[in-house]
Chains A and B, each alone.
Chain A
Amino acid sequence: MTFDLTISVADLLLLLPEIFLTCWLCVVLIVDFSCPRLPHTRLAFLSVIGLAATLACLAWFDATHVSGALFGNMFVLDRMAIFFKMFVVGSTALVILASMQYVDRFTLFRGEYYFLVVMSALGMMFMASANDMLSLFVSIEFSTLGFYILVGYLREDLTSNEAGLKFFVLGVFAAGLLAYGISLVYGETGKLVFSEMTPTHTTGTMIGFLLIFAALGFKIGAVPFHSWIPDTYHGAPTPVTAFLSIAPKGAAFAILIRLFFVALASFKPIWVLLLVAVSILSMTYGNIVAIAQRNIKRLLAYSGIAQVGNVLIGLAAGTKMGSDAILFYLLTYLFANIGAFAVVIAVAQAIGSEEIDDYSGLNRRSPFLAFAMLLFLLSLAGVPPLAGFIGKLYIFIAAVNEGLYTLITVGLINIVISMYYYLVVVKKMYINEPTDPSPVSISGPMKAVVYIGLAGTLVIGIYPQPVIEWVVDATLMFSNMVGPSAVVTPPLPPFGG
């Protein structure tokens, strides 16, 4: 196999967002080093500006239908990749806005925090484009590297250290599984690019793909690969938890969609069973264990496990509509989850606690935060007229068209279970009286994040058609999913066409 590494300027333009962000990242780092007295909030705004510019560039790509492939199909830029890149970049920008106040808690390396966040985002942008076992491995490890440091950023905090260590050990273990799986698959098929693979039903390929799935399952936190999630989410700095709960999941789902829909299209009857099992386990386990949680971050961690189970329903459907639903659902999840975490950060800033009991009477202390949290939790639960409801319904429609009735039944039952623990938080906020009635204040950037989350949750819930059209267009390449080679990389583009 040969790589054609002669790339033209037009090809390089496909990498423009990544190149731009890398340069911007260097600027952020240099500014941080050269101006040690600069308040870190300036660096935060600098990073957000860079991310916003990247987002604008991606939006331009999306509007002008730029697409193409580089390095012998290792790196593809199609509309789905652009969608996930925008997802990652957007959530990163929101996370940085939400963490500006929180960063004061770090005793050292405040500036590097932003560098590491954006660096992880860069890795995840490559994940969204990975179309090859090698680029998959490299981009996953690249993005996780930043997280290893970020999770343990509260150096004096033992839970943060524990979280970092747990995440690191299990993460490295997952990386080992991934590498081993890739080597098995390569040994059996002799190919690395997803779209060129014609896997046969040999034991080696099966084990190889199972290992790769296990590694990706670790990234998204699906049962039974979830064991790191609660402690890591609990111990990590809250903005990092928010970041960890959204962006890597999106990027990993981009890879999962490519892996299952492209490389493993001929295995569909087998992996549907696998995904159904994992999905049922994730939803049920996540929701039932969430009931017992007393800490809001752990609650959101378990609810995240359950949400991933919901997204896997769309993957199990294995159709174009299933992939649409995944994209749509992830977007609704992004707004609701970042909003919920922003409220958690704001409340923790004011009252210094993340226990659910300390949310008592939040409605009297800050009606705005309580109302926002109410809407975010209800969106996660899937209550109309919020975005999460449409997301869940979209997923269920995709699944019912494939006749996955067991999965839908379990999913519907889980909606009711999840309603309970979300409402317990609502009860604390609205019904219980506060022990300390002093008002809770909220900083400007945090307010912006909450407003963006609210806007996304409400607008997508009430008028989702533009977003539906967007995700339907983003996955057009799966519209004729029939065989293993159904996806052809789009012809190389005249730029801007």
Chain B
Amino acid sequence: MVEYILLYILFAPFAGALALIFVSNRQPMLVRGIAVASTFVCLVAAVYLFYAYDPVKGGFQFVQKFQWSKELGIALHLGVDGIGTPLVLASAVLLFTGVFVSWHITDRTKEFYIWLLILAAATIGVFMSLDLFFLYFFYEMSVIPMYLLLGMWGSHTKKYLEMTDPEGVKLRDSVGFIFNFGANSKEYAAMKLVLFLSAFAVVALMGILLIYKYSGLNTFDILVLREQANLMNIPALGTTLDKIIWILVFFGFASIAPIWPLHSWSPVGHAAAPAATSMLHAGVLMKLGHFSIIRVAFEILPDTTRELMPIAAVLCVFSIVYGGLVAFYAKDTKYVIGYSSSSHMGYVFLGMAALNYVSLSGAVIYMFAHAMATGMLFAMAGWVYDQTHTRDLPSLGGLSNKMPFIAGCFVVGCMASIGMPGTVNFIAEVMIIVGSWNKYPLQVIVAVLGIVLTMAYLFNMMRAVFYGPMSQKYSHTRDAVATVDRLPLLVMIAVSVGFGIFPMQLYDVVRSGVDPLVAKITYVAPVARTDDETGSIGRDPAPGADRPPLLATHPRPRSLTSYASREHE
């Protein structure tokens, strides 16, 4: 029974969506009940998975393989490693909380939950796919629900609604409208998101097809491809083929991450989306990009990754600075959080680019941590929007009198997003910064300054929304008092703070996934804690190795051979 745990997690939301088709919209409580039940199953199974995953054994666990098409070499091959497990957990948490966050949606409730469940299930599917075909399958499948969720239940920006003059109306659906920043309709946001993601998805698909062809193995199985595919040193277009594939895969998937300069769809999409969709979008959908890069580019083309990953190290600086600055000047709550997400994804790219044990683990933990922090912020921005019907920062203010609970949670959310000690974000940020310092000191300096910038815009927003004088038109607003309204925030805070205080299980799980990968890419043995516990910091364990990580408190000595034997797990 337990070996099918991945199938429960993956198919519980699908089953929920299927069941919802047969329910009438006139019974909203039944609709919500089914959504809660299916996501609860998903969450419980994901929590079980997280604690049942054995970090000592490492490798891919709970593997399921079903032949899907022999002719095309496709199998539904599911399995999680230390990188996929926390992300599955994050998806399940955000899906479960998202159902509660969207409790008050009354327009076509059933359809909303159907698309939300499909979106989340597809996302979870990517995190557990060990087959390139299914990775792409679920990846692309997660895009279309976004269109409907944004278009049907999303919201326009204030500037857009103010454009009432005839010329403005004409302007807002024209091509020139693309340059009209901050004044978009939800339809525009939805279409931009889908076309952008599809366009880059097919770039990645081209890379996948090239891997399929040149490996000559007639299979899409990642585990087979990473062992047997030899894609190196094939000349093509004036360079080598592996570089072309890597570039295709990297930029194809990085667009959803989103790396600068491919980010422009993302804040627009965040802003237009309903709260639960923003949560899933910023919380887990964006991580599909990093995850797919790790799963495809890192696993199958390790040597090319070592060679070309500096590209990400350059671009991540622009992500951090650009996203942060725009967030600082944005006047719309969701734009601030959306651009802050773009900016924070730069940290993940920095951690990935540095390619050592600590920084990559930090990047993975950061993905998990950011999912919780940004989920909270979007949930609360959604609450404020529902109450005040505006996202415009200058017109908000003083809401802490009316909604003390939300204001309190918002402070926690901001703290988490900044990376205060006590939240899991802190651990992730420190690991990224410490791990990347040797290789990219300049980027690390920018990243640290980026944290200061994060504080600036988040505190700014907190002040603008919750403190200062309150306009009388908001006197009717109310706090989240009902259990269903408080539960999602409390769950996310609990996860964020809980892992912030007790991070070792998370750390162990992530390290068990990261270690063999980094070992394969860099040929540097992972650093184990030395026996004397005291101060071996600074001693190189192997020639050319990075400095031993400050946080490498892993109790078990590890060697490359033990990873090699574990690989086949």
Task: Give the interface size class of chain A.
Answer: 20 to 34
B191 A400 Cβ-Cβ under 8 A: no
In whole angstroms, how far apart are the Cα atoms of A409 and B209 in the complex? 11
A419 pairs with B140, CB closer than 8 A? no
Interface band, chain B: 35 or more
A400 to B70, CA, bound (A): 18
Kindly supply a per-residue 1/0 record for chain A positions 358-376, scoring 1 wherever the CB is within 8 Å of any chain B CB and 0 otherwise: 0000010001000000000
Chain A residues contacting B213 (CB-CB under 8 Å) are: 400-401, 403
Kindly identify which residue among B133, B191, B209, B210 contacts A423, using a CB–CB cutoff of 8 Å. Answer: B191
Report Cα–Cα, A448/B136, bound state, in Å: 32
Is B194's beta carbon under 8 Å from chain A? yes
B71 at the interface (CB under 8 A from A): yes
Contact residues of B between 135 and 170, Cβ < 8 Å to A: 136-138, 140-141, 143-144, 147-148, 151-152
The answer to whether B141 touches A383, judged by C-beta atoms less than 8 angstroms apart, is yes
Question: Contacting chain A: which of B199-207, B253-261, B309-317, B457-465?
Answer: B199-207
Residues of chain B in range 94-151 having any CB-CB distance to chain A below 8 Å: 108, 111, 133, 136-138, 140-141, 143-144, 147-148, 151
Within 8 A of B (CB), among A303-342: 324
In contact, B140 and A383 (Cβ under 8 angstroms): yes
Residues of B within 8 A of A412 (CB): 202-203, 205-206
Question: Does A431 make an interface contact (CB < 8 A)?
Answer: yes
Q: Does B472 contact A (CB under 8 A)?
A: no
A427 at the A/B interface (Cβ < 8 Å)?
Answer: yes
**Of A367, A384, A408, A427, which contacts B187 at CB under 8 A?**
A427
Q: Are A397 and B209 in contact (CB under 8 A)?
A: yes
Picked from B72, B151, B198, the residue with its CB within 8 Å of the CB of A415 is B198
- Write the nearest CB–CB distance from A311 to chain B, whole angstroms: 18
Q: B473-517 CB contact bits vs A (8 Å, 1 = yes)?
A: 000000000000000000000000000000000000000000000
Contacts of B19 in A (CB 8 A): none
**Contact residue among A383, A385, A408 (Cβ-Cβ distance under 8 Å from B206):** A408
A115 beta carbon closer than 8 Å to chain B: no
Contact A468 B198 (CB under 8 A): no
Tell me, rounded to whole Å, the shortest Cβ–Cβ distance linking B124 to chain A. Answer: 14
Interface residue from A389, A397, A401 paired with B140 (Cβ < 8 Å): A389
Within 8 Å CB of A397, what residues of B?
Answer: 72, 209, 212
Say yes or no: B195 contacts A400, CB within 8 Å. Answer: no
Q: CA separation between A324 and B69, bound complex, in Å?
A: 14
B195 touching A420 by the CB < 8 A rule?
yes
| A-B pairs with beta carbons under 8 A, tally | 80
- Chain A residue numbers with a CB within 8 Å of B212 are 397, 400
In the bound assembly, the distance between CA atoms of A240 and B213 in angstroms comes to: 41
Query: Is there a chain A Cβ closer than 8 Å to B4's Cβ?
Result: no
Report how far A412 CA is from B252 CA in the complex, Å.
13
Is B68 an interface residue, CB under 8 A from the partner?
yes
Which one, A383, A384, A396, A465, contacts B68 given CB within 8 A?
Answer: A465
Cβ of A416 < 8 Å from any Cβ of B?
Answer: yes
Does B70 contact A383, Cβ atoms closer than 8 Å? no
- Which of A385, A393, A416, A464 meets B198, CB within 8 Å? A416
Q: How far is the CA of A389 from the CA of B134 in the complex (A)?
A: 12
Query: In whole angstroms, how far apart are the Cα atoms of A31 and B430 in the complex?
Result: 85
Task: Indicate if the CB atoms of A419 and B194 lie closer than 8 Å.
Answer: yes
A75 interface residue per 8 A CB criterion:
no
Are B71 and A472 in contact, CB atoms less than 8 angstroms apart?
yes
Contact code string A445-475 (vs B, CB < 8 Å = 1, else 0): 0000000000000000001110011001000
Q: B195 and A416: CB pair below 8 A?
A: yes
Minimum distance in angstroms from A470 CB to a CB of chain B: 11
Q: Do the beta carbons of A384 and B137 come within 8 Å of each other?
A: yes
Residue numbers in A under 8 Å from B140 (CB-CB): 383-384, 389
Cross-interface CB contact of B151 among A400, A413, A431, A463, cutoff 8 Å: A431
By a beta-carbon cutoff of 8 Å, the part of chain A in contact with chain B is 324, 363, 367, 378, 383-385, 389, 393-394, 396-397, 400-401, 403, 408-409, 412-413, 415-416, 419-420, 423, 426-427, 430-431, 463-465, 468-469, 472
The 5 A-B pairs of least Cβ separation, nearest first, read A412-B202, A431-B151, A384-B137, A400-B209, A416-B199
Q: A363-B108, A385-B137, A400-B210 are in contact. List 15 more A-B contacts (CB 8 A).
A: A324-B71, A384-B137, A384-B140, A400-B209, A412-B202, A416-B195, A416-B198, A416-B202, A419-B195, A420-B195, A426-B147, A427-B191, A431-B152, A468-B69, A469-B71
**Sample of 20 A–B contacts (CB below 8 Å):** A324-B71, A383-B143, A384-B136, A384-B138, A384-B140, A389-B137, A393-B72, A393-B133, A396-B209, A412-B202, A412-B206, A415-B198, A416-B202, A427-B187, A430-B151, A430-B152, A431-B186, A431-B187, A465-B68, A468-B71
